[in-house]
Amino acid sequence: MSAYTKPIIRFGLVTPAIFNCVLLAGVAAGTAKLTSVRAEKELRYDEETKRIAGMKVLEARIAPRRKAFEDQKKMLGADPGQLYTKILDTALPRYKDIELERSSLIFPQDRGKVAKSVKCDVIRVKASYQGGIGPMQESLLQVESLMPQAMLEELKITRKSDLLMKRPDYLVIDTTHACWKAGEARP
């Protein structure tokens, strides 16, 4: 080897080869990093598009029911005593007097068993009915499905017979509901 070949090999071949290998390793590392960042962003994008598609499906399912939700909000904000009476007045005319008849409807002033532990305004409704158990169950179902804030506090069923009224056997049903007004808290 001559005096010229050693520096030529060292600086002409080895140094550029090492530089090119380092450069190639840097490019490979950068490409791997960019590929992982791209894959992560594509995954996030796919998740976001699926989430948006799911939200559109939910919105399409909920949109027709929005009116009913607004009606429920109004119902929860209404006076429970008047609402209870209104529901019963629409449910009871479907039955004949012998099937189901409301004999009394009072609003006691005491808080009752359930209302003592509740921190909002509660109205209690005591109602008495005469008739059969089937129509009574249907009317209670009507009240409790249209009034989510009504809770049956007490139910008492007794059997009576009244030969003067030409009712040999009928039931006397006493119910007590605790109804609260949504959104009002007691101090």
- Is pLDDT larger for residue 168 or for residue 41? 41
Tokens encoding 29? 């590392």
N- to C-terminal Cα distance for the chain? 102
What whole-number distance in Å separates Cα of residue 181 and Cα of residue 140? 19
Fold classified for 79-180:
Alpha-Beta Plaits (3.30.70)
Percent of the chain residues past pLDDT 70, beyond the cut: 91
**pLDDT value of position 99:** 80
What whole-number distance in Å separates Cα of residue 21 and Cα of residue 28? 10
Tokens encoding 117? 């532990």
Q: Is the confidence at residue 116, as pLDDT, over 60?
A: yes
- Is pLDDT larger for residue 35 or for residue 87? 35
Domain boundaries, the chain: 5-64, 79-180
Across all residues in the chain, what is the average pLDDT? 83
Query: How does pLDDT run across 165-176, given as a tens digit for each residue?
Result: 666 667 888 998
Q: Is the confidence at residue 14, as pLDDT, over 70?
A: yes
What is the average per-residue pLDDT within 64-75?
80
Per-residue confidence band for 21, with pLDDT thresholds at 50, 70 and 90: very high
